[in-house]
Copies of this chain bind each other. A is one copy, B any other.
């Protein structure tokens, strides 16, 4: 039997790609796929397959796969459903290792015809050792390999990073990837499973265990015939690499829709949620929280406990952060007597020197750094959140050096909640994140991400017991 690691390797790291269904018409998926591949600067040869055209988008085209001069590792299929099986048979003949089948009209159709076609597809693929992403998918990307094998060219602009995504919904994959583009968060692989012909969540998780480029995995689940293999795979993976998961279809109205879409039983939300959590996944209720949480999990080890300290230069946002800490079940740390005594001496008696600490009237840098130092070295504190509001007087650059110095002297997580009009501080955020300080924009968002990190630590501890 072929080593599954190897099969997935060529699927995600092909040396050459063919697009079966390539088209000179920009309104065709096969055209957009070529734009995606070109845009991502894929280093190997790209072979458009088209019955008549000699050249598409400046690339020599071939009438069929057999005419392609070299080997083809990955094929992207955008042909109609009726032609998909014969295209896949051609792939098998050519020795293709992986296929992205964008074509829709299989099991998701509410009749037995689609189901049968997909079974045949799986049989051909398995016989040829071809791993299929899809059918009925937007495709997939592997940013580390400069591979955008999707019908969405803008994914080529994604920054490489340690977070990978496996999603049953193409739409939600896009939501997450667009957020990553906006927030400058790096991604590794983004995979739209589609109808999961012969590659499902549970098949991919062992691959991600070995994938050094992925430090944290995001799963978006609509519904599975049998969730047990996935739950078992998460149980294996999670202690080593954090898994952030979301299950759609929480209520009967949405469950019905999820069932229609996936062509499979969606399953009760509560059972999924409990099983995912028990297996060690961090379950989030909203798609934007998946990426926010994965970011911190890919950057920092979890803190020892739930006690949070807050520092801000404006009282209002400090209060919002405090509200969020309590609402999300974390605790506002009570400083030790010795810390409190030193803070009372260090900071003027104008406002709040207890947690949340209001730094409004203590803007000199020595006092700021000493406050960070005292808080981080208090045994009652597990993590520190600093709020910073954009102003000409105050940008992240202003606090960067003291925060990084103190971070080096303490293993505790420091998060920055830096609120600013978009884009003004992108470089400063980048620099802080490169140095292990995750930056978020809103108080609630910051605390939810921190909670995810803490929950992961608790899940790992539970596992070890």
With A27-B393, A314-B170, A392-B32: A319-B254 Cβ-Cβ less than 8 Å: yes
Closest residue of chain B to A361 (Cβ to Cβ) is B104
Chain B residue with the shortest CB-CB distance to A109 = B350
Contact of A421 with B182 at beta-carbon distance under 8 Å, contacts A261-B358, A322-B257, A323-B249 already known: yes
Contact of A442 among B109, B110, B288 (CB under 8 A): B288
- Minimum CB–CB distance from A192 to chain B (whole Å) comes to 10
Check if B316 sits within 8 Å of A222, measured CB to CB.
yes
Q: Are B260 and A352 in contact (CB under 8 A)?
A: yes
Alpha-carbon distance between A170 and B391 when the two chains are bound, in angstroms: 12
Bound complex: CA A389 to CA B389 (Å): 31
Known: A172-B320, A175-B317, A421-B182. Is A254-B286 also a contact (CB below 8 A)? no
Q: Is A274 an interface residue (CB 8 A)?
A: no
Q: Does A253 make an interface contact (CB < 8 A)?
A: yes
Is A171 part of the contact surface with B, judged by Cβ < 8 Å? Answer: yes
Q: Does A48 contact B (CB under 8 A)?
A: no
Q: Which 7 A-B pairs have the closest CB atoms?
A: A169-B316, A171-B314, A261-B315, A254-B322, A171-B316, A251-B326, A171-B317
With an 8 A cutoff between CB atoms, is A327 at the interface?
Answer: yes
B315 lies within 8 A of A171 (CB):
yes
Are B108's CB and A350's CB within 8 A? yes
Contact of A178 among B253, B320, B390 (CB under 8 A): B390
Contact assessment for B248 and A319 in the assembled complex, using a CB-CB cutoff below 8 Å: yes
Hey, what's the 0/1 contact readout for A306-322 against B, CB within 8 Å counting as 1?
00000010111111101
Q: A261 to chain B: which residues have CB within 8 Å?
A: 315-316, 319, 351-352, 358
Residue in contact with A421 in the complex, picked from B178, B316, B358, CB distance below 8 Å: B178
A residues near B, CB below 8 A?
Answer: 26-27, 32, 104-105, 108-110, 151-154, 167-172, 174-175, 178, 181-182, 220, 222, 248-251, 253-254, 256-258, 260-261, 286-288, 312, 314-320, 322-323, 325-327, 332, 349-352, 354-356, 358, 360-361, 387, 389-393, 419-422, 442-444
Residue of B nearest to A358 (CB): B261
Q: Is the Cβ of B421 less than 8 Å from the Cβ of A181?
A: yes
Task: Give A354 to B261 CA distance when docked, in angstroms.
Answer: 12
- 5 pairs, A vs B, C-beta closer than 8 Å: A151-B391, A169-B316, A222-B315, A248-B320, A254-B322
* Contact of A182 (CB < 8 Å), options: B168, B254, B332, B422: B422
Contact present for B222 and A175 (CB under 8 Å): no
A252 to chain B: closest residue by CB: B326
A255 to chain B, nearest CB (A): 9
By secondary structure, the A interface counts as mixed
Smallest distance from the beta carbon of A93 to chain B beta carbons, Å?
Answer: 31
Given A251-B326, A391-B152, A393-B27, A442:B171 Cβ within 8 A: no
A320 contact from B182, B287, B354, Cβ within 8 A: B287
- B422, A317: Cβ atoms under 8 Å? no
Question: Closest CB of chain B to A96's CB: distance in Å?
Answer: 27
Q: Do A316 and B351 touch (CB < 8 A)?
A: no
Q: A110–B349 contact, CB under 8 A?
A: yes
In the docked arrangement, what's the CA distance between A288 and B182, Å?
Answer: 17
CA distance A315 to B351 in the complex (A): 51
Q: How far is the CA of A254 from the CA of B419 in the complex (A)?
A: 20
CB closest residue in chain B, given A170: B314
Distance, CA A250 to CA B419, complexed state (A)? 21
- Checking B222, B257, B286, B326 against A250 with a beta-carbon cut-off of 8 angstroms, the contacting residue is B326
**A169 CA to B322 CA in the complex, in Å?**
15
- Out of B170, B317, B444, which one reaches A172, CB within 8 Å? B317
A444 and B361 alpha carbons, distance in the complex (Å): 38
A392 touches B26 (CB 8 A): yes
Minimal Cβ-Cβ distance residue in B for A192:
B316
